[in-house]
Amino acid sequence: MDDNVPQMSDLLLDAVRRYAEAYAGPNGVARTPIPGLTAIRATAPSGIDYAISRPLACLVLQGCKRVVMGQQTFGFSAGDSLLITSDVPTISQITRASADAPYYSLVLDLDVAAIAELAVEMKLGPVAQESPVQVEPSDAEVADAALRLMRLIERPAAMPVLQTQLVREMHYWLLVGKHGPIIRQIGPPQSHTQRVARAVALLRAEFAQPLPVERLAATAGMSASAFYQHFRAATSLSPLQFQKQLRLIEARRLMTTEGISASNAAFSVGYESVQQFTREYRRMFGLPPAKDTDAAMHQAYPGGQPIRRT
């Protein structure tokens, strides 16, 4: 099996390269017809990306990337897999990519229901709480399942019959491989992790509205004190901090991609005070909104393409 890993990795890289080159948009993202499976391509090191990541597995096939969560920094490169098992705030950056050797990765959104079903069938018990982010060398079986998924895309007639079982198989190999213990933290529907996930879904849907912790706790089916404790353990943030980061990340997206002014972005995401928005924005991103937006646009448009702020 080990002797075949380099060849299989090369085949997977080639399959992802061909798909990404054919279908990637300007941002380098190429979504596949298989829900939750995405190819990524970059021909230069990227700027810093701020996000609240969803549970996912990322197989890096060429180039390097860095992800920061809280005080932890994870560097990973070709042959590594990044696993994120909770909705956590991350800062990421592609650190090695060029026109001659682009960065390529394949990302699979983790299917929580599939993981819960497999854990029951495999009689997997609960595990101790660990960091929701982990980097390990990619398992050969995971890479093989990923390659067969990419090949399946080239045979549309077979996709309705085979894609569900192949995605499930990839989750199986993740569960029994190096990332197994961290994935098992996701747990069954009534686990603390899944209860917190229900509150996170509400936060994502209504982040611009006031959300008392009591309502979030009720959504999770917990007391307010227990909810606060488990929410922080799962996401590394308090519910209020989590909502604030969602607001700021969305405001930054509105300014950098849609040309909206700082004041309009602030009100759009739920701030009542532009001064408070500016203060919290600078604390998170290191620059006030206008300067940060200009820097982001300069990186995206080195020729100085103007943006329209409304």
Query: Considering 184, 204, 225, which residue would you say is the last residue of a domain?
Result: 184
Same domain, 62 and 76: yes
- Per-residue pLDDT at 47: 85
Residue 142, in any domain of the structure: yes
User: pLDDT digit string (tens) for 243-273?
Assistant: 999 999 999 999 988 889 999 999 999 999 9
Same domain, 40 and 160: yes
Residue 307, in any domain of the structure: no
> Is the confidence at residue 293, as pLDDT, over 90?
no
Same domain, 20 and 119: yes
Same domain, 19 and 127: yes
Q: How many domains in the chain?
A: 3
Residue 175, in any domain of the structure: yes
Lowest mean pLDDT segment, chosen from 65-74, 273-282, 289-298: 289-298
Query: Considering 150, 184, 218, which residue would you say is the last residue of a domain?
Result: 184
User: pLDDT digit string (tens) for 96-152?
Assistant: 999 999 999 999 999 988 988 898 898 887 666 677 889 999 999 999 999 999 999
Same domain, 149 and 25: yes
Residue 73, in any domain of the structure: yes
Contact yes or no for 196/239 (Cβ under 8 A): no
Same domain, 82 and 52: yes
Residue 203, in any domain of the structure: yes
Angle at 4 between CA 179 and CA 67, to 5 degrees: 35
Cα 117 from Cα 127, distance rounded (Å): 16
| pLDDT > 90 in the chain, percent | 65
Same domain, 283 and 216: no
Residue 310, in any domain of the structure: no
CATH code (residue 114): 2.60.120.10
Same domain, 215 and 278: no
| pLDDT > 70 in the chain, percent | 90
SS3 content of the chain, % helix, strand, coil (to 5): 50, 20, 30
Same domain, 48 and 150: yes
CATH code (residue 269): 1.10.10.60
User: pLDDT digit string (tens) for 141-183?
Assistant: 999 999 999 999 999 999 999 999 999 999 999 999 999 888 8
Same domain, 252 and 138: no
Lowest mean pLDDT segment, chosen from 10-19, 53-62, 108-117, 126-135: 126-135
Residue 156, in any domain of the structure: yes
Residue 52 pLDDT grade (very low, low, confident, very high; cuts 50, 70, 90)? confident
CA nearest to 170, candidates 114, 113, 121: 114
Same domain, 80 and 222: no
Contact yes or no for 43/94 (Cβ under 8 A): no
- What is the residue range of 22's domain? 2-184
Same domain, 90 and 140: yes
Alpha carbon 173 to chain centroid, angstroms: 20
Across the chain, what does the average pLDDT equal?
89
**Mean per-residue pLDDT for 18-32?**
95
- Per-residue pLDDT at 237: 87
